[in-house]
Amino acid sequence: MELEASQVTVRFGGIRAVEDVSLRLGRQEIIGLIGPNGAGKTTLVNALSGFQKPRSGQIRLAGDDVTGWSPDAMARHGVVRTFQAVRLFQGLTVAENVETALLSTGADRSAARAHARDILAYLHLSERADTPANGLNYGDERRVGIARALAMEPKFLLLDEPAAGLNIGEAQELGQTIARIPNDFGCGILVIEHNMALVRDLCERLHVLATGMTLVEGTPAEVMAEPAFINAYLGAEA
């Protein structure tokens, strides 16, 4: 079973945000989606998760054409994403934020309460369970975003810059947690991430976008040896 973008194009007025991009994500793998700012990474994730209807091309889930499905329909069928800017219910506690996600999948209240505690423990958030969401530091806030996504029982989890703003130690710890998710939760992961050391350790394959187009794809070693990658990526970082 796969989640697939096939020759997807998204335009905003004259801007070619994503142009003719094809990408596949399997159930047990972690792939990295990388590229300079403005390359189209978030737009592609939006297209894969129902937040953006492509102008042309298809989104397929387990071979079925799901192009144009709503974010809600995609989530109910297992395609769940996080946002660059975490969206939590600020007035609720950490545990309540996760419970809310569980209730939305049809869990009853007591099951949601128990399961939320399990997910929080998995993400090393047990000590924060009763903290109001608006009192969290940045790293914890990002982990709660992932906890909420895991509560949706994803088959495919799309993470938009989960380590942005974390220090190196926090990012490595988060990377270790993300690395275990496919096996523990049975879902494939696509991760947008700028930290190349993290991406190299975490991902089996990388897909590099530049100005909306696929620049190169392959294993981390293959991608990092590509002159086109080195020029585009390091050029934009400078």
Ligand X SMILES: Nc1ncnc2c1ncn2[C@@H]1O[C@H](COP(=O)(O)OP(=O)(O)O)[C@@H](O)[C@H]1O
Q: Which does 26 bind (CB under 5 to 8 A by kind): ligand X, Mg ion, none?
A: none
Nearer Cβ to Mg ion, position 88 or 209? 209
- The CA distance from 22 to 3, in Å, is 11
- Residue with the CB atom nearest Mg ion in the bound state: 42
Name residue 121's amino acid: A
Q: Which does 37 bind (CB under 5 to 8 A by kind): ligand X, Mg ion, none?
A: ligand X
Inter-residue contact 88 to 98 (CB < 8 Å): no
Question: Interior CA angle at 217 toward 211 and 218, to 5°?
Answer: 160
Nearer Cβ to ligand X, position 182 or 212? 212
Q: Which does 110 bind (CB under 5 to 8 A by kind): Mg ion, ligand X, none?
A: none
Among 37, 106, 183, 221, binds ligand X (CB under 6 A): 37
- Check binding of 94 to ligand X (CB under 6 A): no
Question: Interior CA angle at 170 toward 164 and 176, to 5°?
Answer: 100
Among 30, 41, 79, 207, binds ligand X (CB under 6 A): 41
What counts of helices (H) and strands (E) characterise the chain? Answer: 10, 10
Q: Binding to ligand X (CB under 6 A): which residues in 43-72?
A: 43
- What H or E segment, with its residue span, contains residue 81? strand 79-81
Inter-residue contact 180 to 187 (CB < 8 Å): no
- Check binding of 165 to ligand X (CB under 6 A): no
Residue 147, SS3 per DSSP: helix
Q: Which residues bind Mg ion (CB under 5 A)?
A: 41-42
Which residue stretch of 9-17, 116-124, 183-191, 228-236 sits at the interface with ligand X (rule: CB under 6 A)?
A: 9-17
Query: Which residues are near ligand X by CB under 6 A?
Result: 12, 15, 17, 35, 37-43
